[in-house]
Amino acid sequence: MTAASSELARLLEGPLASRRRHPAWGYVISFLIAAGFALFLRAFVFEPFRIPSGSMIPTLQVGDYIYVNKFVYGLRIPFTSDPPRHFVMWSGPARGDVVVFIEPLHNSEDWIKRVIGLPGDTIRFRDRTVYYRPKGETEWKAVHNRKLDEPCSYMDRNEKLNEDWHPGRPCELYEERIGGRTWHVIYDLAPRNLPLDFPSEWEVPSHCVFVMGDNRDNSEDSRFLMKDGEPAPCVPLENIKGRAEFIWLSPGPDGQRWGRIFSGVK
């Protein structure tokens, strides 16, 4: 038995030793380690995302490439979407975070919006002002906003629909602030025509957040989500992939927008 084992080891040692000595074998091992590390980072830490539409203008422009921090809220099980799953969640998004999430009605695609309401909130949106009432409180609070006296126009397109660019849409620019966070939003000069029965107040379930786009008149968000004919503003916490951190490329209709590269997402 011992003799047979020794003979087998001798026969195998030659090819394996030769393979280990071959320079290409070291490159293969290095490549596999690097590829595995890159996959690990993409699955659990950072993931690139491209902005396909103008719903987050002016914060994010069509064509921006951003990095999403997937580790900030928890550890998500990769490649789960219907329903999404997490190993663990150690925190939830803060009011004002820009998040990438799996669209909640069909779990079919990724969306990006800004978190306005937290679990248990009641949300009102009237006269271009967002109000919120946290769970258990009786008083309403406002997301402070002010109109900026600056020229405002934007270029828009929806890449998912293969649209051409829509140049020079006139708008009005506002600054919003909550706590120590400040960002900009825009409104079209011509107000959006909404149905008479369109809700102006929403209850946020305990396991969800309420999201809005910064391009307030051109964003499909929690205000417009419907299920079985009823408002369904809920974006479940488990659907959230991560928080948008910074822009790393910004190709526009006239070339690269250099001033946006490596800028943080406010």
- For the chain, the domains span 1-44, 49-260
- pLDDT band at 95, cuts 50/70/90? very high
Mean pLDDT of 104-131: 93
Which of 5, 30, 108, 113 is the catalytic position? 113
* Start-to-end CA span in the chain (Å): 70
pTM given for the model: 0.83
Mean pLDDT of 191-204: 75
β-pair type (235-236, 201-203): unpaired
CA distance 44 to 69: 9
Residue-wise pLDDT tens digits, 17-43: 555 556 677 767 776 776 665 565 666
- 124: Cβ contacts below 8 Å, ≥ 6 apart: 130, 131, 132, 140, 200, 201
- pLDDT band at 80, cuts 50/70/90? confident
Q: Please tell me which residue, 81 or 109, carries the higher pLDDT value.
A: 109
Domain 49-260 has CATH 2.10.109.10: yes
pLDDT at 197 over 70: no
In this structure, what DSSP letter does residue 127 have? T
Which of 53, 55, 222, 250 is the catalytic position? 55
Q: Is 55 a catalytic residue?
A: yes
Nearest to residue 96, comparing CAs of 219, 180, 174?
Answer: 180
pLDDT at position 24 is: 76
pLDDT at 15 over 60: no
Q: Is 241 a catalytic residue?
A: no
Nearest to residue 160, comparing CAs of 47, 48, 248, 50?
Answer: 50
